[in-house]
Amino acid sequence: MARPSRTIGTDTVSAIGIGAMSFADFYGPTTEENSYAILDAAAELGVNHIDTSNIYGMGRSETAIGAWLAANPDQRAKMHIATKGGITRDENNTRCFRNDLAHLEAELDKSLARMGVDYVDLYYIHRRQAERPIEEATEALAALVAKGKTRAIGFSEIAPSSLRRAHAVHPVAAVQSEYSLATRFAELGLVQTCAELGTTLVAFSPVGRTLLTDRPVTTARLAEMPFLQSNPRFQPPNLAANIAQTDQFRALAADMGQPAAALAIAWLLAQGPHVLPIPGTRSVAHFRELVQGAQLQLSPEDLARIAQVLPVGWAHGDRYSAEQWVGPERFC
């Protein structure tokens, strides 16, 4: 069977990517060797899009990718690498955002050094600097393309209106946003605007931060995941309600003979040829389940059955806490 693919800018990539936040203890302790095992499996299975950021483990994720590339030099030409910049801290050590060229270029240079590469295939602004017009931020990214340090540009967590403004300055190859059966807000304009402009919608947390898998997070496991501990969907009583709701999805997946994670990935891919999920995992076995989803072809009947057990709006709790909402653009 031919491996399914997606397009980012002028590049053809695998239909599923690797979200490399999991290379930096974000969802629990990991090791460099474990990250290498995920990358080895990706190379074996034809998954060639890697998504990281300078702040994932404060460079740890990029360093792991760089070490793997150094040990596998033939893989650089095969891998499509995306990283991000724009989140930093001010003189008071308070988290803030910078989208000026000087900052973005300095951070990208550090990312390139950590990964041992001369350029990345895609460079995102991780969060918008609200007081800086997005046109100026886009010009900064375009300057990095002109300098050969990135081949394409993108933004993370921006509104459709912002995408239109940015795209008028320079083609925006990708917009990254949370999108899954658990988080559907992107369907209120972002999915459609990306399709119209030829921008790839890179969907992070495509299996709902474990809720759409056969092994949803437990209260005990939350102890090693500070981000989820403070996330409304994983606090009582929401967590119990969300697991109860998604039990129906797990049962449906089992009835269809598929891992729940594979079915969640297949559903996302069915939402449009411009949608590209980037799940993160520390488990090679789970990674194989995720990749299995890229091979599934869902019928209209399958999609209707999924909609019946997980109708729009089923999730209990907001996708972010008040603190986590600082930075992403709300548009609905």
For helices 134-146 and 160-167, give the axis angle rounded to 10 degrees.
50
Q: Which residues contact 165 (CB under 8 A, 6 or more apart)?
A: 134, 135, 138
Name which of 16, 280, 305 is nearest 181 in CA terms. 305
Catalytic one among 27, 36, 56, 124? 56
- Annotated catalytic, 124? no
C-alpha dihedral (239, 240, 244, 247), degrees to nearest 10: 60
**Long-range pairs of 304-310 with CB within 8 A, sequence gap ≥ 24:** 305/252, 306/181, 306/249, 306/252, 306/263, 306/267, 309/248, 309/249, 309/251, 309/252, 310/181, 310/182, 310/245, 310/246, 310/248, 310/249
What positions carry a catalytic annotation?
Answer: 56
